[in-house]
Amino acid sequence: MSKRAAWAELFATLLLFAGQAFGQAEDKEPAAIAEIGAAGEWGLHGGSAFGPALAGEVTPIEHWLEIEAGVAPLFGGGHTEWDTDLLFKKPYTVSDTAEFMVGVGPEWVHTTGGGKAANSVGAEAALDFMFWPWPARKFGWYLEPTYGYDFGRGYPQSLAVSVGLLVAIP
């Protein structure tokens, strides 16, 4: 098993158990929410990359805190960048079918290309828009623009957006 597959398996396992550990109240809130989509990132000093995005979200404190862990392998400019983040979000209910969240958190970036690999840490700020078109709230879609600041060499900054499907995990 490759390192990437092992990390993905660990991430999925943590998400499954995190929802159970926080003991969700008996209402229409799911134990966790999976986000499956696509991401694009644009460096403020040039360059862009695109790829799939996967995240999981749990609600440890109803109406006050949501925690999201995500990963996105981005491809572009002859390199591959694995962005992994952990965001702490404050949720706001806009309506029965829409939610808005503001979040910040740490980010780990693993970049490979040209026979070299580099790791760095950074910070990320995100706005998260979630739309639940059906009353059962089993499926929906999301839009998440982010700003990233990498503490690595050159202190690169970027704007990114991910969009995709929400799947409620009971």
Q: What residue type is assigned to position 152 of the chain?
A: G
Non-local (6+) Cβ contacts of 36 within 8 A are 53, 54, 164, 165, 167
Per-residue confidence (pLDDT) for residue 23, from 0 to 100: 46
Which band of pLDDT confidence, cut at 50, 70 and 90, is reported for residue 27? Answer: low
Report the pLDDT averaged over residues 53-60. Answer: 97
Which domains does the chain carry?
3-169 (2.40.160.20)
Which band of pLDDT confidence, cut at 50, 70 and 90, is reported for residue 145? Answer: very high
Which band of pLDDT confidence, cut at 50, 70 and 90, is reported for residue 21? Answer: very low
| Pair 167, 138: CB distance under 8 Å | yes
Per-residue confidence (pLDDT) for residue 152, from 0 to 100: 85
Dump pLDDT digits (tens) for 89-109.
999 999 999 999 999 999 999
Dump pLDDT digits (tens) for 31-46.
999 999 999 999 998 8
Q: Which residue has the higher pLDDT, 29 or 101?
A: 101
Per-residue confidence (pLDDT) for residue 153, from 0 to 100: 83
Residue 136 phi/psi, 5-degree rounding, is: -70, -20
- Whether 149 has a pLDDT exceeding 60, the answer reads yes
Dump pLDDT digits (tens) for 112-133.
988 889 999 999 999 999 999 9
Per-residue confidence (pLDDT) for residue 107, from 0 to 100: 97
Query: CA–CA separation, 133 vs 144, rounded Å?
Result: 17
Average pLDDT, the chain: 87
pTM for the full predicted model: 0.81
